């Protein structure tokens, strides 16, 4: 018998300022050549792109994705969560912690990218 899992997913964007202080001192990052990323040690702006995917239990959406998206966006409006000075992985971990407080245990996958270009994905199974 084939099993299936249904997911909802939402996307949204949020402006943030962050930096990677170690980039200014770590010799593997501050290389002095074409691979040098020491500039990341200074605060810089990004538009963080989010894709949040969550398992649901049936075809009639036990979680309405428009409401889910609005709730996620509001986490950043009210400063419940703050983007500044965090890596994409840290942002995803922090967002996951808020999601599991509100929603029943579910398989969740969060992708956070800087400007829709480079990022990280974390998957939490049950």
b/e 47-65 (16+ beta carbons within 10 angstroms → b): ebbbebbbbbeeeeeebee
Closest CA to 99 of 80, 83, 78: 80
Domain edges within the chain: 6-124
Q: What is the mean pLDDT of the chain?
A: 92
Kindly state the percentage of the chain with pLDDT values over 70.
98
Which residues on neighbouring strands pair with residue 18, listed in sequence order? 44
Q: What is the pTM of this model?
A: 0.90
Residues 96-105 have pLDDT tens digits of: 999 999 987 8
Predicted confidence (pLDDT) at residue 69 exceeds the cutoff of 80: yes
Degrees to nearest 5, angle at CA 118 with 22 and 40: 25
Terminal Cα distance for the chain, rounded:
21
Residue 111 phi, psi dihedral angles, 5° rounding: -115, 130
Q: Please tell me the CATH superfamily of domain 6-124, with its number.
A: 6-pyruvoyl tetrahydropterin synthase/QueD (3.30.479.10)
- Neighbouring CB atoms inside 10 A of 104's CB total 10
Residues 3-61 have pLDDT tens digits of: 889 999 999 999 888 888 899 999 999 999 999 999 999 999 999 999 999 999 888 88
């Amino acid at each position: 018998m084939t099993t299936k899992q249904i997911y909802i997913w939402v996307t949204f964007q949020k402006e943030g300022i962050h930096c990677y202080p170690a980039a200014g001192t770590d010799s593997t990052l501050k290389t002095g050549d074409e691979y040098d990323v020491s500039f990341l040690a200074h605060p810089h702006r990004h538009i963080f792109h989010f894709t949040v995917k969550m398992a649901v239990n049936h075809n009639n959406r036990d979680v309405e994705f428009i409401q889910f998206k609005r709730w996620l966006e509001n986490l950043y409006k009210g400063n419940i969560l703050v983007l500044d000075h965090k890596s994409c992985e840290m942002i995803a971990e922090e967002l996951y912690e808020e999601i599991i407080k509100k929603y029943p245990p579910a398989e969740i996958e969060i992708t956070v990218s800087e400007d829709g270009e480079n990022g990280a994905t974390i998957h939490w199974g049950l």
